[in-house]
Chains A and B, each alone.
Chain A
Amino acid sequence: MLAQRVAQILQEVGDPEIPTVSIVDLGMVGAIQADGDRVLVELMPTFVGCSAQRIIQDQVTEKLREAFPTSTVAVRFELSQPWTSDRITKEGREALRKAGIAPPGASLDDVECPFCGHSSTVLQNLFGATSCRSLYYCSHCKNPFEAFKPL
């Protein structure tokens, strides 16, 4: 299936800010339509103001053009179905943890430390260096860390 090949290729595109986590595992890939002539991919922004969007769009377009040189490639961000943090896959959550970022919990108080796994964590600031993350402190292992905001 052509659409499956497209999905495989997208698996190699990482978030520019967290390159070890693919945009597929972040749940950012929506509808994929592919036939012999054209490849259409709809992406869902995690946060509207996220500056990584254009970079991701360019990377996806470039990779698909390489893989399907004779097809028309269209990649666009769509809002018709809003991205929510439960779209992050199990693999995505694990990859975030490995990168030192706590995956989103059910609420802002429901965050496990990515280093020691403890849940005795304290929210320090809602806004970290990027839109999608907050700053926390782990009272158990005494490490500051970032956590993905639940949306």
Chain B
Amino acid sequence: MERWTIEDVAQNPERRQLAAELLWQLADDDLLMGFRDQEWLGLAPHIEEDVAFGSIGQEEIGHAALYFGILERLGFGTADDLASLRSVSERRNSVLIEQPNGPGHYLESPRYEWAWTIVRHYLHDVWEMALLTALTGSVFEPLGDAAEKILREKRYHLAHQELWMRTMAGHDADSRVRLEDAWRRAQDWAGDLADLGPYSSALESAGLCPGVDSVVRHYHERVAEMARVLGLPEMRMQTRENGRRGEHTEALQQALDTLSEVYRLDPTANW
């Protein structure tokens, strides 16, 4: 099978642009997911979960750094700058991922919602795993290697969220109501999650992402199976803005302000 190295892609403008379209989505999803996870610091339901979510968030940011690192090697600028300094319209994360954890600010009276956080993270994990599974066969070798590696770690994230979903579904009436409410609200944001954006078919025909349709199908099948097991309604995913096209909500600007504020304070920090 033909495999492209960094040089093969960096020196071919068409390949370079296509590879970047895919990498922005992966990197931006994980960066924002890790950011939202880490906002839970000190606020998670119990101390062990605080530690767990901190680790998960750190891994998400680590995965983002790996994707940004490939973009850096393709000549798009330093990974840190790409993570911190790109504008809202340049971001390709799903709008679901940029939504806050709940009302309030994490410094002043946050009223974060655990059920919402878990449902959203669960959807992100299912999508990324479906996508990475296909990307292990990508023609772009560094992306295939990254997918292979991250997939092994990602399944622990998914297992963690699935355990929480089952726990909330069966614990008591209150947790059940919260889960159902979060599940219903998520469907109004998740429309752009399992979407590779305007370059979807080009990504497939170039071999960068093999089998786009089956990736999307696997994602929907896994979510539908979870709904059946937990007795939740079928999720009809839709969204007003499409993050894969650079359309975002106000929540993203707020998140990026905080993110880049931290970066500007210490540009040498280890991401």
What bracket does the count of chain A residues touching chain B fall in? 20 to 34
A49, B58: Cβ atoms closer than 8 Å: yes
- Of the stretches A65-73, A95-103, A123-131, the one at the interface is A123-131
- How far, in Å, is A136 (CB) from chain B's closest CB? 12
Tell me which residues from 70 to 96 in chain B have a Cβ below 8 Å from any Cβ of chain A: none
User: CB distance B59 to A48 under 8 Å?
Assistant: yes
Cross-chain contact B149 with A82 (CB below 8 angstroms): yes
Give chain A residues whose Cβ lies under 8 Å from the Cβ of B59: 47-49, 131
- Give chain B interface residues in 184-217, CB to chain A under 8 Å: none
Chain B residue at minimum C-beta to C-beta distance from A44? B149
The number of A-B residue pairs with CB atoms under 8 Å apart is 70
- Decide if B148 touches A82 in the complex (CB within 8 Å): yes
Q: Pick the contact of A126: B58, B60, B159 (CB < 8 A).
A: B159
Q: Which residues of B in the span 136-181 have a Cβ within 8 Å of any Cβ on A?
A: 141-142, 145-146, 148-150, 152-153, 156, 159-160, 163
CA of A129 to CA of B61, assembled, Å: 16
Report B-chain residues with C-beta under 8 Å of the C-beta of A130.
55
B62 interfacial by beta-carbon distance below 8 Å: yes
Q: Which of A44-97 contact B (CB under 8 A)?
A: 45, 47-51, 54, 79-80, 82-84
Q: Which residue of A lies closest to B55 (CB)?
A: A127
Bound together, the chains give a CA A144 to CA B53 distance in angstroms of 19
Shortest Cβ distance from residue A67 to the other chain B in the assembled complex, whole angstroms: 26
Nearest CB on B from A116, distance (A): 22
- The answer to the question of B66 belonging to the interface, with a C-beta cut-off of 8 Å to chain A, is yes
Main secondary structure of the interface of B (DSSP, over half): helix
Q: Determine chain A's interface SS by DSSP, over half rule.
A: loop
A80→B144 CA distance, assembly (Å): 9
- Contact (A131, B153) CB under 8 Å given A49-B61, A54-B270, A126-B159: yes
CA gap between A79 and B150 in the complex, in Å: 10
In chain A, what residue has the closest Cβ to B150? A48
Minimal Cβ-Cβ distance residue in A for B48? A125
CA distance A125 to B156 in the complex (A): 11
Query: Could you tell me the distance in whole angstroms from the C-beta of A107 to the nearest C-beta in chain B?
Result: 12
Q: Which of A51, A54, A83, A125 has the most chain B CB atoms inside 10 A of its CB?
A: A125
Q: Which of A93-151 contact B (CB under 8 A)?
A: 124-131, 135, 149, 151
Chain B residues with a Cβ under 8 A of chain A = 48-49, 51-53, 55-56, 58-63, 65-66, 141-142, 145-146, 148-150, 152-153, 156, 159-160, 163, 270
A-B contacts besides A48-B153, A80-B141, A127-B53, 5 pairs, CB < 8 Å: A45-B149, A48-B59, A48-B149, A51-B270, A131-B58
